Chain A
Amino acid sequence: MFTDILTIWSDSPGLSLAIWLVISITLLYAGRPHAHQLLRSTGRAIYGSFRVASSSIRQLEQRVINRNRDVLLAAGREQAEKAIERDFNRVNAIVERDLSQYPGLHRKLAETLEKIENDYHECTGNAPLPPAWSELMDTIASLPGSGDPAVQNILDNIKDVVENSHEETLKAYQQDTNERHKILKAMQPEWRTLNGTMKKVEQTITGLEDRSRTIDRQMAEYESMRKAEDRAVNALTSSSLTQFFIASLVLVIAAFGGIINFHLIALPMSEMVGGASYIGAVRTSDIAALVIIMVEITMGLFLLEALQITRLFPVISSMDDRMRKRMAIAAFTILVIFASIEASLAYMRDLLALDREALTQSLAGTAVAEAQFRWIPSIGQLMLGFILPFALAFVGIPLESFIHSLRTVLGLVALAGLRALRLALRLVGGMASHLSRMLISLYDLFIMVPLSIERMVRYRRETAPQAIAEAAEQREPEQAPEQKEATPKARAARPARTKRPGKEPETYQTDDMPLTTGEV
């Protein structure tokens, strides 16, 4: 077909091809302005449309940025409010627990102090031993003996009386001192009590001080979030991404736990619901095992929700405390029942596996071996079946973090996608513009022969009047000065006259597709 068309003019392919070439060049030359117009307008249209699309996406991107910022700040504010509320509750608990007893403590302190004061007064109330007794004793001892036995006897009696009195006084003094020592000894526990009470007060006050510092810090962060500062947004974004990755990791671990749990109960479930029935392409026993695991996870979620550890269901959070407590008990009971069922199923799985193994061995014709310590994996499976539901019940905590952080991550992913799309649109627009210019140049390259001829003809047309004018100037040197003066003007005006409007398309060859006002 192609050969037939090629050789339509002549049997010689070369000649025929040359004729086709000439025809096509002629046709392309004739349609050059329209072809240029088409290529240029197409390129400009694609470029403009993509620019418009890009700017629309930029607006959308800005909206997504604002939305992300709002979401982050709202989540951060909520979190900060919760943290501050929790700290205030702790402060309240400290005040209620410790400072509510402060009047009693104060009374105790006052009583202790009063007692100590009384004891102190009691210690200092008795007069010490008068010093005159010793002088009197010395005076009596130094009296000279007169030799009279009666006098001597009297003096001895006086001396004895004085000595007795001195001894009694000394004894009374010593007794009094002992009593004071006893009182001071009894004051020792009171001092210790006082010291302990004061330490307790100090600890309470210090704890309150630490807590108040924490609250101050959180309030500063909260203030920063309220002002929507970039610092707070960046911190929240980073925290959210960290939460997302940690929660994802924990959820993956939980998923593996769920798979193990599934395999633990899938086989024995076929004893309960039948191993030959299918729902679609999946065994009913498998679906039943999955349902049990899902119900366990759901009960775990409800339990955590009722204990207010997670806040996924506002309905549960808004219940009164009594109702939530009942719900927590119900969820925990169901969880325990399911864990017990799973434990029994896991044990049954072990028995079934053992039976199957024995059957396989007997079918293979080998003797059934009695495995030692077979009870260890049996007990292990039993315990695993009981523990795994409780472990899976805690999946609510990472799930909540995952869901909350997912909003931020999805926002960031959407932002990245929009940016990539905008970049792609701009690139494609630019390439379309460049391609149209390239095609125009290629077009002209293909028809360069007629274009060169056209250029030559135009040049001759432009240069011929100038040559005639110059010749006329040489022939008429005697022309009037005013006419001579007018000649440069005419020269200057001539090129302007020779520029015909029809030659304007020359400009677009150098035109680098300027943007319109709208595009700019």
Chain B
Amino acid sequence: MTNVNLPGFLRSGLRRQVTAILTTFLVAAGLAGCGQPTNHSRAVFVLIDISSDYAGELDKAETLSNYLLANLNTGDSLAVAFIDNSSFTERNIIARATFDHRPSVTSQQKRVFNAEVTAFTEGFRVPSHHSDITGGVLLATDYLHGVDAGERYLFILSDLHEDLPPWLKRDMAVNLSEVQVVAMNVKRQRSDNNNPRAYQQRLANWQQQVEQSGGSWRLLNDMARLESAVALR
């Protein structure tokens, strides 16, 4: 090793430069360490049951859709689909949108979205005979996991009474990890009046199914408490 004798001012200048570079490096490293990329966007999927037992509750679906449109911001995603005889198809999706990063464009997208949902509810005539809820949940999970979002919500507007056609196979695992499932306005059927335990059992089964699939379960029957109960950030 050769010992280089540098002049005093050069040594001090060199030291200062080295200190500055090290400081910059440390600050940059600190910033890089602090700034873990956090995804703040949200993805919401709404399932609306249009079976004959539940088709009369479509106005609730519109209320929920409007609430979500008012609360979601730029960069968030929203989709609305209906549950009928066979729900795991693209035609079940009424409207979907990932809002632009510009607020003005987002407002325009929300207007279009709202118009599509309104058109569906106004044009709805024939309810379905069966209700393929699991198919709808599968459709929702595909959408929710396909969107790059930090928070994922699945709202189900249904009586949660699954009535599958005989040709459908739905005995498969559903991936609901990191999805918050909110069952809304779970309407009681006539048979539930005779046997309330069946209603409770149905809710418990769905909760168990959701939690076993990795999701979290919430029940919200009173739509008036929507704002306080569904606290979207």
Contact = CB atoms under 8 A, between A and B. Distances in A.
A356 B40 contact: no
A281 B38 contact: yes
B185 interface: no
A275 B35 contact: no
B101 A275 contact: yes
B216 interface: no
Interface residues of A, number: 20
A275 B104 contact: no
B107 interface: yes
A352 B34 contact: no
B41 interface: yes
Interface stretch (B70-78, B158-166, B193-201, B217-225): B70-78
A278 B38 contact: yes
A275 B102 contact: yes
B38 A356 contact: no
Contacts of B102: 270-271, 274-275
Contact of A280 (B35, B76, B104, B111): B35
Interface string A271-312: 100111111110000000000000000000000000000000
B80 to A, nearest CB: 14
B73 A275 contact: yes
Given A280-B34, A280-B35, A364 B104 contact: no
Nearest to A276: B75
B189 interface: no
A267 B99 CA distance: 16
B119 to A, nearest CB: 15
Nearest to A267: B103
B55 interface: no
B116 to A, nearest CB: 14
Interface in A357-393: 359-360, 362-365
Contacts of B103: 267, 270-271, 275, 352, 356
Nearest to B73: A275
Interface residues of B, number: 22
Nearest to B40: A278
A456 B72 CA distance: 94
B38 A276 contact: no
A462 interface: no
A355 interface: yes
Interface string A230-271: 000000000000000000000000000000000000010011
Contacts of A267: 103
Given A271-B102, A274-B101, A360 B75 contact: no
Most buried by A among B66, B74, B111: B74
Interface string B59-73: 000000010011001
B110 interface: yes
B128 interface: no
Interface in A2-29: none
Contact of A363 (B38, B70, B106): B70
A344 B210 CA distance: 50
B177 interface: no
B213 interface: no
Given A356-B107, A360-B70, A277 B101 contact: yes
12 contacts: A267-B103, A271-B102, A271-B103, A274-B74, A275-B73, A275-B75, A276-B101, A352-B104, A352-B107, A356-B103, A360-B70, A363-B110
Task: Give the top 5 A-B pairs by smallest Cβ distance, nearest first.
Answer: A276-B75, A274-B101, A275-B74, A363-B66, A276-B101
